[in-house]
Chain A
Amino acid sequence: MKNIFTIVFLLIAGCLCAQDDLMKELEQNQKPEINYVTQTFKGTRIINGQSVETKGKGELEFIFSHRFDKISTGPYQVWGLDGYPAVRLGLEYGITDRLGVGIGRNFYYNNKMEDLYLRYKIARQSTGAKSFPVTITGIGTMMYQPYPNATDAANNSVPLPSTSDRLSYVAELLIARKFSSKFSAQIAPTFVHRNAVDKSLENNDDIAIAFGGRFKFTRSLSLIGEYYSRMNVHANSPYYNSVGAGLDIETGGHVFQLIFTNSLGLNPNTIVTQTDTKPGDLRFGFNITRTFQLAKRK
């Protein structure tokens, strides 16, 4: 009699937990998968410099970066809004989810520069079946300085630079980790080579290490910060390390970044080599990006 009760009890218990057991069975049948970490940063720029992010395949991003004059110019200049701005207009396209290409036109008064870069995500941070602690992206940039052209050179009686003298190159290795859904950090060794420099003030080759981070405090708002530490500063260098902090606002296809920085640099060359104001002497600026999906994913 007693064992019949036991059997009945077991059968009832079996029915009650059948769905949980079924769920366990389902989970056991599933193959272990790799979970790649996404959105380490919201955009392809942290402040002035690049982030590890790449555009998705077939995505075209338009980036409009604008830096006003120094806040220290005071109320007559509306704290820099009236002064000469530094502007970069750029486009970046995702050839694959990991490979991107970008172009940009930078101008600040007479300082004009064109940049062209390739960006490749070498490794992706992941958990699960394959675990990797960081995302690594390599970026190679080539820059061309169109100023001065023949007319400018004649008017200002300066020698006309050769094509080679107008070129500079930057190699960056960006290493970032998304520590949590809120906090991400990045470190980026940066190497800059310029073919022609004023050797009394500048190096042909500069090395800097960039530090960047973001703290996401709501789903659409993040605090962002960035600092470039130059490793081999020329003894007579009139330039400073670039620093920046700001607010990152993400809406549908846009990312707005409101920024305070001492740098006019909007490409890795000028950030490292031509930041001409002290870290405390800031300017206001913004980056606006708009993403278009040109090719469908499927």
Chain B
Amino acid sequence: MEISYVFKNNYSLMKKILLIAVGIAVAFLTQAQKFTSDKTYVKFFSDASIEDITAENTKSSSIFNEATGDVVFSIPIKEFEFDKSLMKEHFNEKYMETEQFPKSTFQGKISGYQPSGTGEQKATAIGKMTIHGVTQDVQIPGTMTNANGVLTMKAKFMVKLVDYKIKIPQLLWTNIAEEVEVTVEFNYKPL
């Protein structure tokens, strides 16, 4: 009795409650369609005359919103593991300046993926990639597979060091290719 009285006489309160209800509904709706990374794998490969360099990282994380296509990736640079200790030190200290720029990120949308589809689907990630503190607009083609609620995202692409202001010291230039090949494979489970 008292409550309905309040509603009838306080239009603005009703409006607020309505807004909150819609807000909560939207939040729940999107929450249900989010995926978080379970297993992650990022590899880069630099093919140079003297020495090929490979590094692997399994400590990345990502969230993918299936409903909106929004996706974010965060890759901790110091977790790249090399064959040689010295390579890891140089990678962090000289090229990536990891103390200053500890993470590389991607924020964007995935287009071309149908949540209802089956098998491997071609998809493109479009958005902003930040490496070494430099942000670039990128389009990365890859594939998505949805099998029994486990989502797998795969892509292979080239990163030009000059685009991200990663400088190669003169004394070292023969050791490092100017372009490196990056391979990513992320497995997702519902959040």
List A residues at the B interface (Cβ < 8 Å). Answer: 3, 6-7, 10-11, 14-15, 18-20, 22-23, 25-27, 29-30, 33, 35, 38-39, 55-59, 94, 97, 181, 219-220, 251-253, 291, 293, 296-298
Contacts and interface: CB of A to CB of B under 8 A. Distances in A.
B41 to A, nearest CB: 14
Contacts of B121: none
A18 B81 CA distance: 32
A127 to B, nearest CB: 9
A35 B78 contact: yes
Interface of B: 15, 18-19, 22-23, 26, 30, 36, 61-63, 65, 68, 70-72, 74, 76, 78, 81-86, 88-90, 92-94, 97, 99-100, 102, 105, 107-109, 127, 167, 169, 171-172, 175
Contact of B70 (A18, A55, A251): A18
B85 A18 contact: no
B80 to A, nearest CB: 12
Contact of B94 (A23, A30, A219): A219
A55 B85 CA distance: 8
A23 B172 contact: no
Contacts of B84: 56, 59, 293, 297
Nearest to A23: B72
Contact of A297 (B71, B74, B81): B81
Given A19-B72, A19-B127, A251-B171, A220 B94 contact: yes
B74 A10 contact: no
Q: Main secondary structure on chain B at its contact with chain A?
A: mixed
A59 B72 CA distance: 37
A253 B19 contact: no
Nearest to B174: A252
Given A58-B85, A220-B171, A11 B74 contact: no
B59 to A, nearest CB: 9
A26 B85 contact: no
Given A181-B100, A220-B94, A251-B171, A3 B86 contact: no
Contacts, number: 100
14 contacts: A10-B22, A11-B26, A18-B30, A19-B70, A19-B107, A27-B74, A35-B78, A38-B92, A56-B89, A57-B85, A59-B84, A220-B169, A297-B81, A297-B83
B85 A94 contact: yes
Given A18-B68, A293-B85, A297-B84, A252 B63 contact: no
Given A219-B94, A297-B81, A6 B65 contact: no
A298 B63 CA distance: 28
Contacts of B94: 219-220
Contacts of B82: 297
Contacts of B19: 3, 6-7, 10
Contacts of B92: 38
Given A26-B63, A296-B83, A297-B82, A15 B172 contact: no
A3 B81 CA distance: 54
Contact of A30 (B18, B61, B175): B61
A58 B36 CA distance: 36
A297 B85 CA distance: 7
A66 B175 CA distance: 28
Contacts of B81: 297-298
A61 to B, nearest CB: 10
Contacts of B109: 19
A42 B36 CA distance: 39
A29 B36 contact: yes
Given A26-B61, A35-B78, A252 B175 contact: yes
B99 to A, nearest CB: 5
Contacts of B90: 252
A26 B62 contact: yes
A97 B86 CA distance: 12
B74 A26 contact: yes
B35 to A, nearest CB: 11
Nearest to A128: B102
B86 A15 contact: no
B10 to A, nearest CB: 14
B92 to A, nearest CB: 7
